[in-house]
Amino acid sequence: MTAAEKHQAGRNPAAVPQPPAGRCPQPRGGGRLSGRAGIRDVAAAAGVSITTVSDALNGKGRLPDTTRSHVREVAERLGYRPSAAARTLRTGKSGLIGLTVTTYGEEPFTFTEFPYFAEMARAATSTALARGYALVILPAPARRGVAGLSGRPGHSGPSGPDVWSNVALDGTIVVDPSEKDPIVTELVRSGMPVVSDGKPGESLPVAAWVDNDHEAAVRRILDHLAESGARRIGLLTGTSTDTYTRVSTAAYLDWCRRVGQDPVYERYPAHDPCAGAVAADRLLARPDRPDAVYGLFDPNGTDLLAAARRYGLRVPEDLLLVCCSESASYATTAPPITTLSLKPGRIGTTVVQLLIDAIEGSSPPRPVQQVMPTELLVRTSSQRAGARTTVSPPRAPAAE
Amino acid sequence: MTAAEKHQAGRNPAAVPQPPAGRCPQPRGGGRLSGRAGIRDVAAAAGVSITTVSDALNGKGRLPDTTRSHVREVAERLGYRPSAAARTLRTGKSGLIGLTVTTYGEEPFTFTEFPYFAEMARAATSTALARGYALVILPAPARRGVAGLSGRPGHSGPSGPDVWSNVALDGTIVVDPSEKDPIVTELVRSGMPVVSDGKPGESLPVAAWVDNDHEAAVRRILDHLAESGARRIGLLTGTSTDTYTRVSTAAYLDWCRRVGQDPVYERYPAHDPCAGAVAADRLLARPDRPDAVYGLFDPNGTDLLAAARRYGLRVPEDLLLVCCSESASYATTAPPITTLSLKPGRIGTTVVQLLIDAIEGSSPPRPVQQVMPTELLVRTSSQRAGARTTVSPPRAPAAE
DNA sequence: TTGAAAGCGCTAACAC
DNA sequence: GTGTTAGCGCTTTCAA
């Protein structure tokens, strides 16, 4: 009996030694994917063992080229497609990496609409594919305990069944983890490589992180506004505890202390678009109204412009404006608004590279960190004199 | 010996009946994921069998609530996370759906930059998650034969290793399949549910498809331009054979025939941004220069505007302009440009719903089709008289 | 109501 | 150089 015949026979209950009792040996359970050929079918058709098939197709083992090409031919003829699930189970590698934003917890899944996230995710997807991985965007996992213990059948949150327990991830990218993010802790503890976009809190043992130097960026913007003649600079900031918000706000307060200005700021839940407009209004309605404002979030430029209009303030004559945004449309508002770009594309690329390095290599004991530059696009809204409109001129960071 | 003891013992080779020969029964191969608890560990700790654990966690079987909650408690205490890979292998469902654009074949993976695709993918991702699926964006599979036969080790194309063979998909969304797309055929033949964005060619046996009524949209735009005083309307179109390009171009030619105008159009490879600018230039350089142009692709508005400027043509006085775009920035160009929105968000949502229906239900014999409305945003560039700037007024389709 | 065991399709260790 | 076999972790069938 040749190997081929053996494998052929393996499909035929009658020709095989019976199991201990009179159990029925025909396929049950998950039930074979009816039409498709499996590795055994290929082996049988090619007259070799399944090992040889596996080796031939994966370029492993020490097979003569004749065998290899023969097997490949047969596989192709049968339309054989290896089962990714089986390979994943066997090797422990799925080739899938997750991307998630935990900051807003149970909030509905709207963050993909933010230009920053959209661009970051786009770059991350491309980079992952270029390295042979696919990227999966996932909502923040369910809050309590072992997320989605109940698997697909269960439902665990406003956004439907918990997907986390249904996808095998080789690693995860977490965007803007909060200070001591329980989700990140849980992920890391379960042995998953995690890389964060946004410097994580001290206690978060991520494998690596990427971030902008938000401190320097804020300093630079405030200096820029001061140079343009601002006497009292206000800040529109958020209530959440992610790095970006924390560091930027701290940098603002620090700058104020240094130059001897009283801080003038309003905080609002950044994920709520309406709250932004209200906060912008509040800021300009204050008795100690600032004559320049930096808004930490993308829509702040529009909101502040609208609020300024309501209060009869001209931009930039009465109010200087800068906001952090990835939207090109601020180049064409009236007046065009100066923005700080965090370069999310680069961040997405870098964060994926680091994650895959962590997955494939042995990760170093100390987390790898990488600081990415920002870009200040100076436009009309932040220049009182009709000065230059240069893009990110090389400039030393403000002296400390 | 209790069940718990048995399972405990199961980890101990000495206490278990030896296999036929003196084979070593200790775990080898894939090697257990060291730290993490498996279903057997939970069973042992809870003093039940793995069946009971499975049932308890999945809400199946007829277990008393006491058992169920006890098992859940133990599972949580051990930090048990079910293995998605194992579940997928067993059940045949991965909870993953693919999203791909085959049109441009081997082209580098830049299409995510198109606003249409970005918005469509965003909506698709959200919808998938809401229904308990995760969405994976994949590049067009390798051209020849059984895509990525060689799995992860192999490399098969300019964009790195072929990811297709490494992810288990329950179904796939194909954007803009070409007329008789071999990739779609291959996917469908392998038993994968496929839903297309863009009406597929007759011979493509997709489970469902979604599309705009491009014919009506083109007719409406041409009518609109004619009403604005256009005498000769040109078209900027593509060279690829996807539905959108084919149908739109055909509708244009048909309209020309009906009103007795000689067609004036230029074609270019739509994925090449430079080619667009050149084609726009060509169109306006023709001896039979049109006095109105409709551009089928997003960047055409900018390109045509630039070309018009080069030729000293004023918009809309000398040249009326409309393009198909999802970019809000056309609202603020000088002059603002009239655009047709295909509402990619709705399409993405719908296409996912249909795909999941196909995956979960028994798909009907005939493909489900769904036609989605478009939206014409009339702006300055297409109005010669200073008329209304209404958004998509209710309007009967042009009489045939 | 609970448990034993088969086996999803593949890879890797080892025997020949 | 090629084949046999265990087993990845789970779900499911069937027996008790």
A313-355 confidence digits (pLDDT tens): 999 999 999 999 998 889 988 899 999 999 999 999 999 999 9
Q: Comparing A5 with A62, which gets the higher pLDDT?
A: A62
Minimum mean pLDDT among A130-139, A345-354, B68-77, B160-169: which range? Answer: B160-169
B37 — pLDDT class (breaks 50, 70, 90): confident
> From residues 64-123 of B, which are strand C contacts by CB within 7 A?
64, 67, 86, 89-90
pLDDT interval class at B34 (50, 70, 90)? low
Q: CA triplet B68, A86, B88: central angle to 5 degrees? A: 35
Judging contacts by C-beta atoms under 8 Å, the chain A residues touching residue B166 are 84, 87-88, 94-95, 132, 134
CA distance to partner chain A, nearest, from residue B193 (Å): 13
Note whether A168 contacts B138, CB cutoff 8 Å.
no
pLDDT in tens, B156-170: 444 556 789 899 999
pLDDT given for residue A61 in this prediction: 67
Pair A134, A128: CB distance under 8 Å: yes
How high is the pLDDT of residue B126?
Answer: 92
* pLDDT higher than threshold 60 for residue B387: no
Q: B113: which chain A residues are within 8 Å (Cβ-Cβ)?
A: 122
Concatenating the DSSP letter of every residue in A58-81 gives: HT-S---HHHHHHHHHHHHHHT--
**pLDDT-derived band of residue A111, with 50, 70 and 90 as boundaries?**
low
**Confidence class for position B338, pLDDT limits 50, 70, 90:** very high
The mean per-residue pLDDT over the stretch B294-322 comes to 96
Distance CA A155, CA A166 (A): 12
- A79 and B132 within 8 Å at the Cβ level: the answer is no
Residues of B in contact with A120 (CB under 8 A): none
Where is average pLDDT lowest: A88-97, B305-314, B365-374?
B365-374
Contact A84 B165 (CB under 8 A): yes
**At which residue do the structure tokens 């809400």 appear?**
B59
Q: What percent of chain A has pLDDT over 70?
A: 78
More confident residue, A31 or A164: A164
* Residue-level pLDDT at B374: 97
Position B1 pLDDT exceeds 70: no
| Residue of chain B whose Cα is closest to the Cα of A34 | B191
Q: Work out the mean pLDDT of chain A and round it to a whole number.
A: 82
Are A134 and B135 an interchain contact pair (Cβ–Cβ within 8 Å)? no
Section A228-243 average pLDDT: 94
- pTM of the predicted protein model: 0.84
CA separation for the pair B56, B73 (Å, rounded): 11
Report the protein residue whose CA lies nearest the C1' of nucleotide C5.
A23
Nearest CA-CA distance, residue B201 and chain A, Å: 23
pLDDT computed for residue A156 by the predictor: 43
| CB pairs < 8 Å spanning A and B | 217
> Nucleotide C9: nearest residue by CA–C1'?
A86
CA–CA separation, A57 and A334 (whole Å) = 61
CA distances from residue B48 to B41, B52, B68 in whole angstroms, order as listed: 10, 6, 11
Q: How far is the CA of A311 from the C1' of C14 (A)?
A: 82
pLDDT surpassing 80 at residue B29: no
pLDDT grade for B35, boundaries at 50, 70 and 90: low
Token output for B83: 């293995």
Average pLDDT of chain B, as a whole number: 82
Confidence check: pLDDT of B8 > 80: no
Q: Residue A249's pLDDT is what?
A: 97
Please report the pLDDT score of residue A59 as a whole number: 83
Q: What is the pLDDT of residue B111?
A: 64
Mean pLDDT of B345-350: 96
Does the beta-carbon distance from A85 to B80 stay under 8 Å? no
Residue A302 reports pLDDT greater than 70: yes
What angle, rounded to 10 degrees, do the helices at B115-130 and A115-130 form?
90
pLDDT at A44 over 90: no
Q: What is the mean pLDDT of residues B231-256?
A: 95
Specify which residues B339 forms β-bridges with: B323, B377
For the segment B377-382, the average pLDDT, to the nearest whole number, is 97
Mean pLDDT of A296-302: 95
Chain A residue numbers with beta carbons less than 8 Å from the beta carbon of B132 are 152, 160-163, 166
Cβ of B146 within 8 Å of Cβ of A80? The answer is: yes
The pLDDT value recorded for residue A18 is 37
pLDDT confidence band for B15 (50 / 70 / 90): very low
Average pLDDT over residues B5-25: 36
Q: Which residue of B has its CA nearest to A160?
A: B130
Q: Which residues make Cβ contacts (< 8 Å) with residue A69, sequence separation at least 6? A: none
Closest-CA residue of A relative to B119 is A113
Q: Is the peptide bond before A316 cis (omega within 30 degrees of 0)?
A: yes
Q: Is the pLDDT of residue A235 over 50?
A: yes
Instruction: Identify the residue whose Cα has the smallest distance to the C1' of C2.
Output: B52
Is a pLDDT exceeding 60 seen at residue A363?
Answer: yes
Among all strands, which nt has the closest C1' to B31 (CA)? Answer: D8
List beta partners, residue B242.
B178
Checking if the pLDDT of A261 tops 80, the result is yes
pLDDT value, residue B272: 84
The pLDDT of residue A12 is 36
Taking the CA of residue A50 and the C1' sugar atom of nucleotide C16, their distance in angstroms comes to 16
For residue A293 the two structure tokens come to 């404002």
Q: Please report how many Cα atoms fall inside a 13 Å half-sphere around the Cα of residue B197, on the Cβ side.
A: 28
Flag if A129 and B135 touch (Cβ within 8 Å): no
pLDDT tens, position by position, B167-209: 999 999 999 888 888 889 989 988 899 999 999 988 888 999 9
Q: Over 50: is that where the pLDDT of B60 sits?
A: yes
pLDDT at A114: 81
The pLDDT of residue A367: 75
| Angle subtended at Cα B110 by Cα A132 and Cα A372, rounded to the nearest 5 degrees | 75
pLDDT tier, A104 (very low <50, low <70, confident <90, very high otherwise): low
Token code pair at residue B203: 């011979």
pLDDT of residue A332: 84
**pLDDT the model gives residue A246:** 93
Model pLDDT, residue B329: 86
E strand map for chain A: 96-101, 134-138, 171-175, 194-197, 208-212, 233-238, 264-268, 292-295, 320-324, 338-341, 368-372, 375-377
pLDDT of residue A273: 78
Check whether residue B151 has its CB closer than 7 Å to nucleic acid strand C.
Answer: yes
Order of all β-strands in the sheet with B171-175: A368-372, A208-212, A194-197, A171-175, A96-101, A134-138, B134-138, B96-101, B171-175, B194-197, B208-212, B368-372
> What pLDDT score does B141 carry?
75
Nearest-CA residue to the C1' of D1? A63
* Whole-number distance in Å between B89 CA and C2 C1': 25
Whether B23 CB is under 7 Å from strand C: no
Q: Which of A215, A258, A231 is nearest to A320 (CA)?
A: A231
Q: Residue B373 has what pLDDT?
A: 94
Which range scores top for mean pLDDT: A26-35, A134-143, B223-232, B357-366?
B223-232
